[in-house]
Amino acid sequence: MLKVEDVHVYYGAIHALKGISLEVPQGQIVTLIGANGAGKTSTLNTICGLLKPKSGRVVFEGKDITGLATPEIVKMGLTQVPEGRRIFANMPVYENLELGAFLNKNKSEVAESMEHVYNRFPRLRERKNQLAGSLSGGEQQMLAMGRALMSKPRLLLLDEPSMGLSPILVKEIFSIIKELNEQGTTILLVEQNAKMALSIAHRGYVVETGRIVLAGDARELLESPEVKKAYLGG
């Protein structure tokens, strides 16, 4: 479904991504794990058009989308839930969700998407008129995911969904991610919680200083001595 081929990205003189290549097969959860600053977010931002690679290409469902504007990429069915949620704190929950469907001018379709999101996240329905900034961290993460789902993506990019959440909420968010995948959404997951990410993923990539250093079946990576030592505390 998605191929990233030998992508190089620079921030000024800094060579951030040094030939990243990865594949996301349709129907799978693929995870990128690695330390802070390894290049995980830069990879997602390049895929969804927020960063332009100096070389290499991004191919989504057989189409070269390298350098396309982000709204065009969203229209094609690829959406990102950014790190840090980036919700609109001074707007109510329902308006945050509406913004997720800003490209869709069909009101009944938007209403249908909204209903679908409320069914998936009942807490958002309960709080739909509440200001988004007054939600708990877990609810804000649900809102960020719900907003992304409003555009009915076929591929969802998730950037650090467990960041700052309590262990109980982390479990809840990960079970939602697994459910979304089981219902047909393909997922590329960037996550510092390597154990949780690999436990729900089909395939994993380990990123270090802008390069993929390990790749393979998620279960195998969970058992890999290098991964255990570097990311799983033993």
> Which range scores top for mean pLDDT: 57-66, 169-178, 217-226?
57-66
Encode pLDDT of 70-122 as tens digits: 989 988 999 988 887 788 889 999 999 988 887 778 888 888 888 889 988 99
- Identity of residue 190: V
113/52: higher pLDDT: 52
Q: What is the reported pLDDT for 36?
A: 85
Q: Which amino acid is located at 204 in the chain? A: G
Residue spans per domain, the chain:
1-77+155-170+184-234, 88-152
pLDDT recorded at residue 19:
96
d(C-alpha 18, C-alpha 11), whole Å:
12
Q: What is the DSSP string of 95-163?
A: HHHHHTTTT---HHHHHHHHHHHHHH-HHHHHTTTSBGGGS-HHHHHHHHHHHHHTT--SEEEEE-TTT
3-state secondary structure of 201: coil
Mapping DSSP to helix (H, G, I), strand (E, B) and coil, where does residue 1 land? Answer: coil
pLDDT > 80? residue 170: yes
pLDDT for the residue 87: 87
CA 154/CA 75 separation, integer angstroms: 11
Predicted pLDDT of residue 35: 85
Q: Backbone dihedral region of 25: left (phi > 0), alpha (psi from -120 to 50 degrees) or beta? A: beta
Which tens digits make up the pLDDT trace of 124-157?
A: 999 999 999 999 888 898 899 899 989 889 999 9
Tokens standing for residue 72: 């065009």
What is the rounded distance in angstroms from the CA atom of residue 58 to the CA atom of residue 13?
22
Residues whose CB is less than 8 angstroms from the CB of residue 170 and which lie 6 or more positions away in sequence, other chains included:
162, 193, 196
Determine the pLDDT at residue 104.
76
Cα–Cα distances (Å) from 211 to 7, 152, 186, 214, in that order, read 10, 31, 23, 9
Over the stretch 13-48, which tens digit does the pLDDT of each residue have?
999 999 999 999 999 999 999 988 899 999 999 999
Residue 234 pLDDT greater than 60, yes or no: no
Count, residues in the chain: 234
What's the confidence (pLDDT) of residue 146? 92
Instruction: Please name the fold of domain 1-77+155-170+184-234.
Output: Rossmann fold (3.40.50)
* Cα 143 from Cα 161, distance rounded (Å): 11
For residue 115, give every residue at least 6 positions away whose Cβ sits within 8 Å of its Cβ, in sequence order, or none.
none
Q: Give the residue among 95, 94, 61 at the shortest CA–CA distance from 78.
A: 61
Alpha helices for 121-207 (secondary structure H):
122-126, 137-149, 167-182, 194-200
Distance CA 170, CA 139 (A): 11
Residue pointed to by tokens 């802070």: 36
